[in-house]
Amino acid sequence: MNDPRTPGHGDAPPAPRRTRSGQVIIGPTVGARYRPGALIGLPLVSALLSPFAGAGLQQWRASRLQAGQDGLLEQLLAPAWTQLLLGALLLWALFALWALVPLLLTQRTVLLDEGEGTIALRKGPRIVERAPLAQVEHAVGEAERGGMALIGVSTQDPEAPPRQWIVPEVGWDGASFDGLRALQAATGLRPAPPREVLRQENRRRRRIGRQQELAARLGMPWRALYEDDEEAFQAEFDRVRRVLGGREPAREGDPEA
């Protein structure tokens, strides 16, 4: 989850995606999630499977020729490379359609209308729930891909727990996460830092965790200096390994071999 600290002066203001009517989109759009797979992943899969599609086109052409049909299409499909190319294109179109339809039907986002002061939960093409901004109790999310956002919306019953609106993949890219930051600012909550700042901090924490584990294995004392200076840790880690290997004299405080 994001760190709800007060943003520093260096934090860039949110730059979320918006609908044509100006509503802020919290979470990734269908296009943002669909485009990388459709333009990179699916063409590679289609190219790998193109020999099977090409064989099917060759069989179809042979049956047409046996039936006495020898038109322009049959002539264009005569070269093997044409069959492979057309087969790859047909597979790409088929896979792209299969990937697009589920996204269109299940994509979940939240729309923030700053003018009216409302939010709306959208699932696929439908708006399934609305609420005024005053009912938003919390809005937190993860800046990494695969993470989600949780938006707590209070109910009419003061004793009932808030409803949880879930937005998948809110950390898909900077614009998706900036939608959450815009919602936090609009509701008076402390906006999270930009996505890239949080990702850098997450990478830093993971690095520190790995280095602390390596240091513990060698019995090497951990110093606060290493949290911000990776080269200092690596130099000391290599020195301690040489000491334990008997290739360098030990210093005071070094682990014993």
Model pLDDT for residues 104-126, shown as the tens digit of each residue: 999 999 999 999 999 999 999 89
Q: Which tens digit of pLDDT belongs to each residue from 207-243? A: 999 999 999 999 898 999 999 999 999 999 999 999 8
Residue-level pLDDT at 58: 85
Q: Of 162, 150, 180, which Cα lies nearest the Cα of 25? A: 180
Report whether pLDDT(27) > 50: yes
Percentage of the chain surpassing pLDDT 70?
A: 96
Q: Which residues contact 213 (CB under 8 A, 6 or more apart)?
A: none
Across the range 49-69, mean pLDDT stands at 85
Q: Which residues contact 136 (CB under 8 A, 6 or more apart)?
A: 119, 151, 152, 153, 154, 183, 187, 189
Q: Tell me how far apart the terminal alpha carbons of the chain are, to the nearest angstrom.
A: 42
pTM of the model: 0.78
Residue-level pLDDT at 178: 95
Which residue carries 């996460």 as its tokens?
A: 177
Task: Share the mean pLDDT of the chain.
Answer: 88
Candidate from 2-16, 120-134, 199-213 with smallest mean pLDDT: 2-16
What superfamily in CATH does domain 108-192 come from?
Answer: FACT complex subunit Spt16p/Cdc68p (2.30.29.210)
163-168 β-sheet, strand order: 136-141, 148-153, 163-168
Kindly state the DSSP code that residue 194 receives in the 8-state scheme: P
Residue-level pLDDT at 7: 47
